[in-house]
A and B are shown apart, each in its own frame.
Chain A
Amino acid sequence: QVQLVQSGAEVKKPGASVKVSCKASGYTFTSYDINWVRQATGQGLEWMGWMNPNSGNTGYAQKFQGRVTMTRNTSISTAYMELSSLRSEDTAVYYCARGSDAFDIWGQGTMVTVSS
């Protein structure tokens, strides 16, 4: 079936970087954009940016520009989101989601904890 499977939980120190993966299966990876959305505990959803897996084109929310990088490896149908200069406020569940407007398929989420 169509699914996105993300990498496991991460614990990072302030100032470090984290790279989360999102592996697509059940559909043609290059046919749909991949977006990244995060959610701090008890809070709402925050869109971080998108990537076109076919072209590699990306667009980032202004809040994350300069700190986030979205890439892909089409040979293994996997998208990546790297967030640098981590701070405690980046502690959240990070989701990948398929779609160029509404997001019809979501990954299971990856918990990233930033703590000294």
Chain B
Amino acid sequence: EIVMTQSPATLSVSPGERATLSCRASQSVSSNLAWYQQKPGQAPRLLIYGASTRATGIPARFSGSGSGTEFTLTISSLQSEDFAVYYCQQYNNWPPALTFGGGTKVEIK
């Protein structure tokens, strides 16, 4: 099983600042990585797929980068609605054996 490790567990950021979240895979997943945002009481929302492609309707302040084992989600200027938990997910295997990272909580500083 591919293990996904996210860091930090919690990130304290002021509104308007930049946030950088990391995700590391235990083995290469190529660019088969997605990022999700989850707010309390809601289902996750797809932000990024293919490591760097924004999903439909996702603002340009969200960007993804990386390949292989190291990935980054950057939120260029945090808005109030961006404070949430973010998960990475790999989908490199076939047949599917998808795995999620443990999440990074982005909180108001």
Contacts and interface: CB of A to CB of B under 8 A. Distances in A.
Interface of A: 35, 37, 44-47, 50, 59, 61-62, 95, 97, 100-104, 106-109
A44 B38 CA distance: 10
Contact of B43 (A62, A95, A100): A95
B34 A47 contact: no
The bracket for how many chain B residues form the interface is 20 to 34
Contacts of A102: 34, 46, 49-50, 55, 89, 91
A5 to B, nearest CB: 12
B17 interface: no
9 contacts: A37-B100, A44-B102, A45-B87, A61-B97, A97-B44, A101-B34, A101-B91, A102-B89, A102-B91
A61 B87 CA distance: 19
Nearest to B50: A102
B91 to A, nearest CB: 4
Which 5 A/B pairs are nearest by Cβ-Cβ distance?
Answer: A102-B49, A106-B43, A102-B34, A101-B91, A45-B100
A108 B43 CA distance: 6
B74 interface: no
Contacts, number: 62
Contact of A50 (B1, B34, B49, B96): B96
Contacts of A95: 43-44
B32 A101 contact: yes
B87 A44 contact: yes
Given A44-B87, A45-B87, A62-B1, A103 B46 contact: yes
A100 B96 contact: yes
B100 A46 contact: yes
A47 B55 contact: no
Interface string B94-105: 011111111100
Nearest to A96: B43
